[in-house]
C-alpha cells in the first residue's frame, strides 16, 4: 500500500509524529511490533510515575502523625496491588493512544518494520508473515532498550533491568542499583520507600551526575536520611548468584568490597534500537551508536528520517515528541524552527523531585562567563512549611552583564511542575529583573522562583 508517511515505532516520538502528519492531511501508517505508546507509556515514564505516587502516598500515611492525623491500624504496603495499579495505568494510557490513532485515521500496522529499499518498508508479523508498504517519506522512531554491562548479565530474576523492576512479585529485602541517573535514582527511592534496603552505586563522583553539583549533594543527603546507602566513585565489577543471593564485587577508591543483595538492578543507561531495521540496506550513516541526522532529522538516505533515542539528542520522551513534530512539519512544507537543545527541561521524580534546564554553575564558570547566582531554600517558604516539604531549593543562574537567564536547578516537592515556567521564560529571553517583577501567587512553592531571582540581585525579601 502507498502512503505519504510511514512511521516505524509508536513511542512518544513516533505516535506524535504520526498524529501531526495526519493533521497536515497526510496518509499515514504507524508500524509497531509491541504495545502502542512504546516504552514510555508501557514500561517507562507512565508506569514508573504510578509506582512513585504509590510510594509517596505510603510515605504520607506513615508520617500522618506529623500532620496531626492518627490512625488505629498499622499502615502496610500491598506490593502486588501497587504493581497491579501501575500496569493498569499503563494499559489505560496505551488504549488512549489507540483511540488517538483511530481518531486521526492512521493505519496501525502491527509487526516488526525494517527498511527494505528506497521508499519501502517490510513488515514481519505473526512469525514469518511478510508484507511491504511504500511511502515517499519514512520516519524511524524505534527508541532504545536497557543497556547491559558484561559484569552484570541480566537473567531477569536476580540481575534485572527496569522492566523487571516494574513487575516484581514482592519487594526484595535488599537491592543494589548500579547507576544513579533518573532511572536508578527513581527506583532507589521507590524501593527504599517500600522497605527495601537499597544501595545505590554510581561510577562518577556524584549521583545524578548531569545535575548541578548542589542539587546532587542535596539529593544524596535526602537519600541517606531515608536509609539509602549511596556509593559514588564506585562500580559493580562482577556478580555471582548462589542460592538466591547475589554477591556483587564493588570497586571503590579504597579497593574492592563484597556486597550481598536479593536483587541487583542495572540502570546504566540505554542503547538505541538501530539493529535489525535495515540501515545498511540503504546506506544510512551512523555517528557511533546513533543515526546521523541534520537539524530537521533527515538521514543520509533521501526520504528517510530519524527521531528520538536513536539520534543524538537527550533520550527524553518530550524531546522525541518535539523532534517528531518538527520533522513532520518540515516534510509537510511548513517552516518549523529547529529545536533548541539548550532549553530542554530534565526531571527526576524522586522524593524530593529534581528539575533543571540550561547551564549548570560549573559549566558557566568553565566557559569563563561572569554570572550572578540566586538561591532560595524551601525552608524559607511558607507553602513548603505548611506542606511539610521543606527540603530543597531553587537556584537560578544569570548572565551578570545582560541579565539573561542561563539555567535553573531545583530540588524539592513538585519542582517538576515548576520548571516549565523557566523553560518559557528562557524561550522569551526574560531577564532577572523581569522575573523579580512578575508577581507570583502566595502561598505557593513557585514563589521560590521569584525569590531566587531577587536573591541574585540582592533584593530577596524572605531571607
Catalytic residue ranges: 442
Please tell me the distance from the alpha carbon of residue 350 to that of residue 211, in angstroms, as a whole number: 14
| 3-class DSSP assignment, residue 180 | coil
Instruction: Pick left, alpha or beta for residue 308 (phi over 0 → left; psi -120 to 50 → alpha; otherwise beta).
Output: left
Alpha carbon distances (Å) from 405 to 263, 365, 397, 431: 43, 15, 6, 6
Concatenated DSSP letters for 298-351? B-SSTTEEE-GGGSSS---HHHHHHHHHHHHHHHTT--PPPP-GGG--EEE-SS
In degrees and rounded to multiples of 5, residue 415 shows phi and psi of: -70, -20
Residue in 261, 239, 259 with CA at minimum distance from that of residue 171: 261
Quick check: helix, strand or coil at residue 263?
Answer: strand
DSSP letter at 281?
G
175 three-class SS:
strand
Residue 400: φ, ψ to 5°: -65, -30
Distance between CA atoms of 232 and 92, rounded to whole angstroms? 38
| Residue 68 burial (CB count, 10 A) | 6
Cis peptide bond N-terminal to 418, omega within 30: no
- Hey, is 410 helix, strand or coil? strand
DSSP per-residue codes, 62-89: HTGGGGT---SS-----HHHHHHHHHHH
C-alpha distances out from residue 9 to 139, 187, 279, 318, Å: 9, 26, 15, 15
- What is the distance between the terminal CA atoms of the chain, rounded to a whole angstrom? 66
H runs (alpha helix) in 24-161: 38-43, 45-62, 79-103
CA pseudo-torsion sign 438, 340, 216, 164: positive
Q: Supply φ then ψ for residue 394, to 5 degrees.
A: -115, 130
Amino acid at each position: 500500500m502507498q502512503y505519504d508517511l510511514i512511521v516505524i515505532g509508536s513511542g512518544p516520538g513516533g505516535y506524535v509524529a504520526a498524529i501531526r502528519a495526519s493533521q497536515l492531511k497526510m496518509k499515514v501508517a504507524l508500524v509497531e511490533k509491541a504495545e502502542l505508546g512504546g516504552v514510555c507509556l508501557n514500561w517507562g515514564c507512565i508506569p514508573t510515575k504510578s509506582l512513585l505516587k504509590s510510594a509517596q502516598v505510603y510515605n504520607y500515611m506513615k508520617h500522618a502523625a506529623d500532620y496531626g492525623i492518627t490512625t488505629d491500624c498499622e499502615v502496610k504496603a500491598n506490593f502486588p496491588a501497587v504493581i497491579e495499579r501501575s500496569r493498569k495505568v499503563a494499559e489505560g494510557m496505551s488504549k488512549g493512544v489507540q483511540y488517538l490513532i483511530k481518531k486521526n485515521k492512521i493505519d496501525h500496522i502491527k509487526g516488526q518494520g525494517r527498511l527494505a529499499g528506497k521508499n519501502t518498508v517490510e513488515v514481519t508479523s505473526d512469525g514469518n508473515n511478510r508484507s511491504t508498504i511504500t511511502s515517499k517519506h519514512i520516519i524511524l522512531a524505534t527508541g532504545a532498550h536497557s543497556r547491559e554491562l558484561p559484569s552484570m548479565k541480566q537473567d531477569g530474576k536476580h540481575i534485572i533491568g527496569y522492566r523487571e523492576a516494574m513487575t516484581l512479585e514482592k519487594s526484595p529485602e535488599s537491592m543494589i542499583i548500579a547507576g544513579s541517573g533518573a532511572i536508578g535514582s527513581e527506583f532507589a527511592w521507590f524501593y527504599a520507600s517500600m522497605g527495601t534496603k537499597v544501595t545505590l552505586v554510581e561510577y562518577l563522583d556524584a549521583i545524578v551526575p548531569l545535575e548541578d553539583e548542589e542539587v546532587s549533594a542535596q539529593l544524596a543527603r535526602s537519600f541517606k536520611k531515608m536509609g539509602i546507602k549511596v556509593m559514588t566513585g564506585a562500580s559493580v565489577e562482577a556478580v555471582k548468584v548462589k542460592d538466591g543471593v547475589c554477591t556483587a564485587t564493588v570497586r571503590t577508591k579504597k579497593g574492592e568490597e563484597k556486597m550481598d543483595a536479593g536483587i541487583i538492578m542495572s540502570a546504566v543507561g540505554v542503547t538505541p534500537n538501530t539493529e535489525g531495521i535495515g540501515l545498511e540496506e540503504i546506506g544510512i550513516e551512523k555517528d557511533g551508536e546513533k543515526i546521523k541526522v541534520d537539524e530537521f532529522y533527515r538521514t543520509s538516505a533521501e526520504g528517510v528520517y530519524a527521531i528520538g533515542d536513536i539520534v543524538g539528542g537527550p533520550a527524553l520522551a518530550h524531546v522525541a515528541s518535539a523532534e517528531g513534530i518538527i520533522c513532520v512539519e518540515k516534510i509537510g512544507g511548513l517552516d518549523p524552527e529547529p529545536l533548541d537543545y539548550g532549553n530542554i527541561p530534565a526531571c527526576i521524580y524522586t522524593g524530593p523531585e529534581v528539575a533543571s534546564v540550561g547551564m549548570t554553575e560549573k559549566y558557566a564558570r568553565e566557559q569563563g562567563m561572569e554570572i550572578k547566582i540566586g538561591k532560595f531554600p524551601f525552608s524559607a517558604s511558607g507553602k513548603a512549611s505548611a506542606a511539610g516539604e521543606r527540603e530543597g531549593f531553587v537556584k537560578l543562574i544569570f548572565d551578570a552583564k545582560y541579565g539573561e537567564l542561563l539555567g535553573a536547578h531545583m530540588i524539592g516537592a513538585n519542582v517538576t511542575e515548576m520548571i516549565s515556567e523557566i523553560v518559557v521564560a528562557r524561550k522569551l529571553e526574560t531577564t532577572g529583573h523581569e522575573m523579580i517583577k512578575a508577581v507570583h501567587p502566595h502561598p505557593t512553592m513557585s514563589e521560590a522562583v521569584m525569590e531566587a531571582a531577587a536573591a541574585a540581585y540582592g533584593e530577596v525579601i524572605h531571607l
